[in-house]
Amino acid sequence: MSSLLQFSGHQHLRHRLVLSILSGKHVRIDKIRSDDKNPGLRDFEISLLRLLEKVTNGTIIEISVTGTAILLKPGIISGGALSHDCPLSRSIGYFLEPIVMLAPFAKTPLQLTLRGITTDEHDLSVDLFRTVTLPHLQLFGISDGLELRIKKRGAPPEGGGEVQLLCPIVKQVKTLNFVDPGKIKRIRGVAHAVRVNPQFSNRMIESSRSILNRYIPDIYLYSDVYKGDESGKSPGYALSLLAESTTSAIHCSEAIFKPGVAPEDIGLEAARALMAEVNLGGCVDRKHQIPVLLMMVLGSEDVGRCLMSEPTPRTIQFLRDVKQFFGTSFKIVAAEPGSSQLLYSCYGTGYVNANRTLA
């Protein structure tokens, strides 16, 4: 019944799966690393598919014998209390990102416990997720009871962290009209160091403050302490920073430990990355363009507008995929002639949470 959409390549797998589940369109993705020496889906992708199967009811996932093609026939998003063990090849952030786009449209509020690596260099760390991604969802009226609890930290390679995501359900997301980036009024940050010298986090904070102090006085960088069993299995440390503007636009950055690099340098790196991000401007952080744009598409049948910096390659592909799944395209114009910031506006699809039970 539902039309089938075809994609190829392992890239952009996550948002394609999410769009498929939300729109109900069947999707077939082939040529997944078909030219690779190690063809087919990776363990974390399989794990993601398993997680999606847990979150939904009636989803049929068919994986070809070689593992280079999958067919997804989405069911409904059921939510509920779930737990999932993430593989150590990717961090928890990889799994949280698609889940948080689905969870507001579930039948029952989601209480998902994920275990694995909480911070790594590829994906959003759970700190950023808690402090930046969730506030981005609050722009769309998904706020009451939205929470991420970091129960244990787990640094790569051994992991051992645990987080719990609590997400409420909504009937319909609000239309976004966010065009004023405002000015940055505060900077916050979380530094953590597990199974290493606790002074490391202070050293990171000190060094990043050396850059940030010049701008505003309202800077609080916390040192998050986890002890014993809560600190996971491997040593590690990282610093995540976020800058919030007067209109609560948030930009963030993060730096994590590397072998042979002093904590001070990590602190500096994070601060500089934050400056680079702030310099790009817009109301939405570059890392959060996709969830924000998705929620704009899913809004009521009104015009949503958002000011952002230039799209990342992922965002561009996402916009194209959204057009295929929902038939919605964005109008993207420079906010004002000459500025590098773009105004994304679209007409919402009027997506209503059909999974929600009445009474």
Partner 1 sequence: MDDRPHKAHRPAQSGAKAEKKDKGKGKEKQKGFNEKAFAPKSGRRADRQGRRTAERDQTRLHVPLVNRTPDDEPPPVIVAIVGPPGVGKTTLLKSLVRRYAKQTLNDVKGPVTVVSGKKRRLTFIECNNDLNSMIDIGKIADLVLLMIDGSFGFEMETFEFLNILQSHGFPKVIGILTHLDLIKKAATLRDTKKALKKRFWTEIYQGAKLFYLSGVLNGRYPDTEIMNLSRFVSVMKFRPLVFRNSHSYILADRLEDLTPRELVRTSKNKCDRTVTVYGYVRGTNLRMGTRVHIPGVGDLEMKSVTVLGDPCPMPDADSEKRRKLSEKKKLIIHAPMSDVGGVMYDKDAVWVNVPGSFTRGNTDIRQGEGEQMVMDLQDVGSTLEDAVAKSQIRLLGTSSKNLTVPNEDNVDMGDEDSDDLDLESLAGSDMEDDDSGIDSDPGDAEEGDDEDRTQDPRSTGRSSHRSGARTLPSSSKKQRNDIEYAESDSDLGDNDEDLDIGGRRVRFGEDDDHDIPSDEGEGEEEEEEEEEGDDGAVPRWKKNLAERAQSSFASSRKSRRKDWTKLIYATSLTPAEILQGEQEEGSGATEVEMDEEDFFQIKRTADAGQDEVLDQSKEALSAEELKKWEDEEMLESIRHLFITGDDNAAGDGEDGNEEGGAFGEEEDGDDSQDDEEGSAAADPEAARAAALAAKKEALKRKFDEQYDDPESSKLDFYEEKKDEMARQLALNRAEFEGIDAEARALVEGYRPGQYVRIELTDVPCELIENFDPSYPIVVGGLLPAEERFGFVQVRIKRHRWYARTLKNNDPLILSVGWRRFQTVPIYSLDDHSIRMRMLKYTPEHMHCYATFYGPVSLPNTGFCAFNSLSGETPGFRVSATGVVLDIDRSVKIVKKVKLTGVPYKIFKNTAFVKDMFNSALEVVKFEGANIRTVSGIRGQIKKAMPKPDGAFRATFEDKVLKSDIIFLRAWYSVQPRKFYNPVTSLLLSDKAHWTGMRLTGQVRRDEGLKTPLNVNSTYKRIERPPRRFNPLVVPKKLQASLPYASKPKLMAPQRAQTYLQKRAVVMEPEEKKAVALLQQIRALRKNQVARRKEKKDEKKVERQKKLAKEEAVKGEKEKEKRKEYMRVAGQKTKRAAEIEEGGGRSKRRKT
Instruction: Compute the distance between CA of residue 50 and CA of residue 72 in angstroms, rounded to an integer.
Output: 12
Q: Which stretch binds partner 1 (CB under 8 A): 64-72, 93-101, 220-228, 231-239?
A: 93-101
Contact 267, 206 (CB under 8 A): yes
Select 194 or 293, whichever has its Cβ closest to partner 1. 293
Cα 340 to Cα 212: distance, rounded to the nearest angstrom: 24
Q: State yes or no: residue 4 binds partner 1 (CB under 8 A).
A: no
Q: Are strands 177-178 and 303-308 parallel, antiparallel or unpaired?
A: parallel
Q: Is 199 in the site for partner 1 (CB under 8 A)?
A: no
Contact flags string 213-232 toward partner 1, x per CB under 8 A: -xxxx---------------
The string of DSSP letters for 288-302 reads GHHHHHHHHHTS-SS
* Residue 192 engages partner 1 in binding (rule: CB under 8 A): no
Q: How many CB atoms lie within 10 A of CB 30?
A: 14
Nearer to partner 1, 198 or 334 (CB): 334
Q: Nearest distance from residue 84's CB to partner 1, in Å?
A: 18
Burial of 189 (0-12, 13-18, 19+ CB in 10 A): buried
According to CB under 8 A, which residues from 59 to 78 bind partner 1?
75-76
Residue 81 binds to partner 1 (criterion: CB under 8 A): no
Binding-site member from 18, 25, 43, 104 for partner 1 (CB under 8 A): 25
CB of 96: closest distance to partner 1 in angstroms?
10
Residue 204 CB, shortest distance to partner 1, in Å, is 15
Of 105, 180, 182, which is closest to residue 140 (Cα–Cα)?
Answer: 105
Q: Which amino acid is at 312?
A: T
Q: How far apart are CA 142 and CA 100, in angstroms?
A: 11
The answer to whether 110 and 79 are in contact (CB under 8 A) is: yes
Q: Does 11 bind partner 1 (CB under 8 A)?
A: yes
Site for partner 1 in 243-272 (CB under 8 A): 246, 254-255, 269, 272
Q: Residue 244 is which amino acid?
A: E
Cβ-based neighbours of 337, under 8 Å, separated by 6 or more: none
Q: Which two tokens stand for residue 22?
A: 């939300």
Give the helix ranges, DSSP H, for 91-133: 92-102, 126-128
Q: How far apart are CA 213 and CA 194, in angstroms?
A: 26
Burial class (CB in 10 A: 0-12, 13-18, 19+), 334: exposed
One character per residue 286-325, x = contact with partner 1 (rule: CB under 8 A): xx--x---------xxxx-x----xxxxxxxx-xx--x--
Size of the site for partner 1 (CB under 8 A): 91
Compute the least distance from the CB of residue 327 to partner 1, in Å. Answer: 3
Site for partner 1 (CB under 8 A): which residue of 118, 131, 175, 234? 175
Give min distance, CB of 75 to partner 1, in A. 5
Select 170 or 319, whichever has its Cβ closest to partner 1: 319
Is the CB of 228 or the CB of 338 nearer to partner 1?
Answer: 338
> Could you say whether residue 131 binds partner 1 (CB under 8 A)?
no
Q: Is 31 in the site for partner 1 (CB under 8 A)?
A: no
Closest approach, Cβ 198 to partner 1, in A, equals 26
